[in-house]
Amino acid sequence: MEYKKLSTMLPADGILNVPGGFWFIDDLPAEASYELRLDAHVRCKFILHLGLQGHRIRRRVIFSICGENAKLDAHVLIQGAKNQCIEWVGIQRHLIGNAESNLFIKSTAENAVEISIISKIILDANATKSCAYFQNKNLILSNRAHVTARPELEIFANDVHCSHGAAIGGIDPMEEFYLRSRGISQRAVKALLQRAFAEEILCQMPNDMPCNQAR
């Protein structure tokens, strides 16, 4: 699939009726708010990396599913370093049924990073036979780092498939020991496992994205 940068497509009012068949890359500055609307039969993939935009980063994104047979796959990777403060507020709103949305967010927090992830699925009364999923995994790499995750559901329709979940944890001590037993320093092990955690989303990002230059 070809990819398009949001910075070149987003209208002044921040509402974009997305054409299907593309990857949409969020390349907007540190603070941004927008709505992506998917009409009937539109299928698109959305990619976002947060972490390189500045000290305070904030995203408010509404994915509106407006037509039947629309499908959204959204992948968000948040990588906080130093004492960054990063906030994600997302809404998957299904206004009509027979459509699907998947939002997958991963975050890593080092040093004194603060990350807040609030994500809500809203299924309107007309959204029967909708499928909406939200999954969030967070890796904390320092005692001073802080991650808050708040997955929410509001379902007003019957006959729907819906799931949401969030997990926050540190590095698995067994994985850490295994790598150290191969002679790799604790610091290098941390970097390796941090990279491994992000790989699931990083590998889907185009090679020319700044976060992917070192791959």
Partner 1 sequence: MRSALAIRNLYLNVAGKAVLHGLSLAVPAGEIHVLMGRNGSGKSSFVHALVGQIPVAAGEVSLDGVSLLGLPPEIIAQKGLFLAFQTPVALPGVTITQLLRSALQARQEKGKLFDHMQFHDDLEAAMEFMGMDASWASRHVNDGFSGGERKRCEMLQALILKPKYVLLDEIDSGLDVDATRIMVNAIRLLHRRGTGMLIVTHHSRWLEVLAPNGVHLLSDGVIHRSGGMELARAIEAEGFQAAQ
Q: Which residues bind partner 1 (CB under 8 A)?
A: 172, 174-175, 177-186, 188, 192-193, 195-200
**CB burial readout 105-128, b (16+ within 10 A) else e:** bbbbbbebbbbbbebbbbbbeebe
- Smaller CB distance to partner 1: residue 43 or 195? 195
- Smaller CB distance to partner 1: residue 31 or 172? 172
- Smaller CB distance to partner 1: residue 155 or 184? 184
Place of tokens 């390349």: 27
- Smaller CB distance to partner 1: residue 127 or 202? 202
Return the half-sphere exposure (C-beta side, CA atoms, 13 A cut-off) of residue 84: 24
Using CA atoms, how far residue 152 sits from 92, 119, 149, 165, 169, in Å, is 10, 6, 10, 9, 20
**What minimum distance in Å lies between the beta carbon of 7 and partner 1?**
29
**What minimum distance in Å lies between the beta carbon of 182 and partner 1?**
4
**What minimum distance in Å lies between the beta carbon of 76 and partner 1?**
17
Kind of pairing, strands 43-50 and 15-17?
Answer: unpaired
**What minimum distance in Å lies between the beta carbon of 183 and partner 1?**
4
Nearest to 120 by CA among 158, 164, 159: 164
- Smaller CB distance to partner 1: residue 7 or 185? 185
**What minimum distance in Å lies between the beta carbon of 180 and partner 1?**
4
Using CA atoms, how far residue 201 sits from 40, 48, 77, 116, in Å, is 27, 9, 7, 19
